[in-house]
Amino acid sequence: MQKLTNKEEEVMQILWKLKKAFVKEVLAEITEEKPHYNTLSTIIRNLEEKGFVSYNAYGNTHQYFPIISIEDYRKRFMNTAIDNYFNSSYKNMVSFFAEENKISADELREILAIIEQKK
């Protein structure tokens, strides 16, 4: 699975949300710095070339849909981030978020309860 640019990820988030969409529908969902229609169309075609989306053709118009699930992408993205930034250690990742005050003790207890239930 190839790495996506920030704009490609933004478009994928929209396609995962909408499930299928024409370029104009994706454009309508972009809230900040709307790209030109042709630029967005190129981004979506790049996603197709990378194997993230496919389309149904209706004459000259294409309706795009994701062929990679958000869950599969999330697993790949998180594994890469943990490998690259936390030395492949989930403990280091959780410690980082605790030190940055991004996770509370109550949330950690909830996570521990989930882990205990899986045993």
What does the pLDDT look like over 52-83, one tens digit per residue? 999 999 999 999 999 999 999 999 888 888 99
**DSSP secondary structure letter of residue 32:** S
CA separation for the pair 111, 116 (Å, rounded): 9
Q: pTM of the prediction?
A: 0.78
Decide which of 1 and 77 is more confident: 77
Dist CA 44 CA 47 (whole Å) = 5
User: Does the pLDDT at position 24 exceed 80?
Assistant: yes
Report whether pLDDT(33) > 90: no
Position 63 scores a pLDDT of: 97
Residue 7 has pLDDT above 90, yes or no: yes
DSSP state of 100: T
- pLDDT at residue 1 above 80? no
What distance in Å separates the CA atoms of residue 80 and residue 89, rounded to the nearest whole number? 11
- Give mean pLDDT, residues 95-107: 90
What is the pLDDT confidence band of residue 118, given thresholds at 50, 70 and 90? Answer: confident
Place of tokens 């890469």: 80
pLDDT value, residue 2: 78
Q: What is the mean pLDDT of residues 89-105?
A: 90
